A = this chain, B = another copy of it.
Amino acid sequence: MTPLGGERKQGTVCIFGTGDFGRSLGLRLLQAGYEVVFGSRDPKNTSLVPQGSKVMIHTEAAQMAQVIFIAIQRDHYQFLTSLTSSLEGKVLVDVSNNLKMGQYPQSNAEYLSSLVPGASVVKGFNTVSAWALQSGALDASRQVLLCGDEPKAKQAVVDIAHSLGLTAQDRGSLRAAGELEDIPLQLFPLWRLPLWVAAGITAFFFFYLLVRDVIYAYVEKDQDISYRIMITLANKVFPIVALVMLSLCYLPGALAAILQLYRGTKYKRFPDWLDRWMLSRKQLGLLALFFAILHVIYTFIISIRYNVIHTRDTEVIKQIKDNQSEPFDNAEAWATDSFLSLGVLGFSMFLLLGITSLPSVSNTLNWREFRFVQSKLGYLTLVLCTTHCLLYGWNKFLKPSTYKWFTPPGFMLCLVLPCVVLVLKLLLSIPCVDSRLTRIRNGWERPTRSRSMERGTAL
């Protein structure tokens, strides 16, 4: 990726600022065949700008190009007021980012626009990193988000983005600049709530099972089985969290359906908490899958664990000493094999769900296919995993010894939510309920309220 010589016919672009971003952008523009002119206070210091570009003082540089990238920090924008006449009618691209969200009351781009009212300011390129421009590898996003008030100015910037091999997305008027400036500062905003939920559920079940298993054994039987925390306990907590999180994916959909049935229309907004919940479903599901994967791996290593091997050997030795062998229990064989088999099938469906939620895979699905996978396959997964959990306790529900200190075991607690979701789904699938819901979702509204006749005819 060396600068190409030859005749450059792409036109000239000006960059104010010879910092990291400015120079990376300059190099990339040169590679794409543009002439690049840097605006600088000290044009003689050309040591750092990419080979093939020129450095001039700001006023001269501004005259060379229609589009000027302002690659300097907001604190230094003030000096641009002295160049107002040179910048008249130019397109100024504000590529700046702030150090933290809401650092300034006004977005950088709007501030720039107020300083140089005669120029058309376009916010853009701030979501692309200097490193990405330099390396050309563009592992991170290759999408340029931009906004501005002047369509022609935006088009000029879109054209430059395209010729650099980037895609561009117009985000509207300059008012959206603040939003764009916040984007590079975000750290997984959609994942926060689901992560807190997962952490909370994990912590609750961890301490609940710690008390019931380890502390109970210590207090009541004077046994030290604390070593079980590392795997045995973890492998009880993880599947529980996975199942609870999976049902939390499907609960909001059921609640929304009930709300729509109750209101008799889909044209009323859901309460905010439900809206947020609905939008977190993908993240909830992926976290559930992560916990399920941990559960599966912990299960696979059960039989190479020291204590498992020791317990088995002890049992065999005991059987021999007592001179009696345990008879084969056909019911036990059926139950445990079914339990394992359902777990495997549930997990494989869950994996499928996870794979189809990869952006590049979901992009190849049409709307009907996407809903088929996320809804039909999702409920199948939930049914399989819930049954897997039910079979785990098939012969434990009625045993008094299960209820240590009068508390139910973890797997019973965690069955509550998925069973509620499945019952709700079952009720919503009753033909008369389902058909009404379908009509509501196609735009029908309960006739008691007066609505325009046209409603029914519209898509």
Contact = CB atoms under 8 A, between A and B. Distances in A.
A423 to B, nearest CB: 26
Nearest to A46: B452
Contacts of A302: 304
A6 B140 contact: no
Interface residues of A, number: 144
Interface string A115-159: 000000000000111011001010111110000011100000000
A9 interface: yes
B310 A227 contact: no
A76 interface: yes
Interface string A15-29: 001111110000000
Nearest to A151: B9
Contacts of A345: 294
A186 B360 contact: no
B334 A227 contact: yes
A338 B306 CA distance: 11
A185 interface: yes
A176 interface: yes
A250 interface: no
Nearest to A153: B9
Contacts of A405: none
Nearest to A110: B6
A234 B451 CA distance: 57
A455 interface: yes
A337 B306 CA distance: 8
Nearest to A145: B165
A425 interface: no
A359 interface: yes
A135 B278 CA distance: 10
Nearest to A138: B363
A162 B170 contact: yes
A230 B388 CA distance: 13
A76 B172 contact: no
A320 to B, nearest CB: 6
A169 B307 CA distance: 60
Contact of A7 (B9, B149, B310, B347): B149
A145 to B, nearest CB: 9
A351 B293 contact: yes
A17 B459 contact: yes
Nearest to A16: B458
A260 interface: no
A298 B340 CA distance: 9
A391 B103 CA distance: 46
A86 to B, nearest CB: 17
Contact of A452 (B42, B231, B359): B42
A172 B340 contact: no
17 contacts: A17-B458, A19-B457, A21-B459, A33-B172, A41-B453, A73-B459, A95-B459, A97-B459, A140-B363, A140-B370, A141-B364, A141-B366, A183-B366, A290-B352, A300-B301, A320-B320, A358-B358
Interface of A: 4-11, 17-22, 31-33, 40-42, 45, 48, 71-73, 75-76, 95-97, 127-129, 131-132, 135, 137, 139-143, 149-151, 162-165, 167-176, 183-188, 224, 226-228, 230-231, 234, 266-267, 279, 282, 290, 293-294, 296-307, 309-310, 312-317, 319-320, 325-326, 328-330, 332-334, 336-338, 340-341, 344-345, 347-348, 351-352, 357-370, 372, 443, 451-455, 457-459
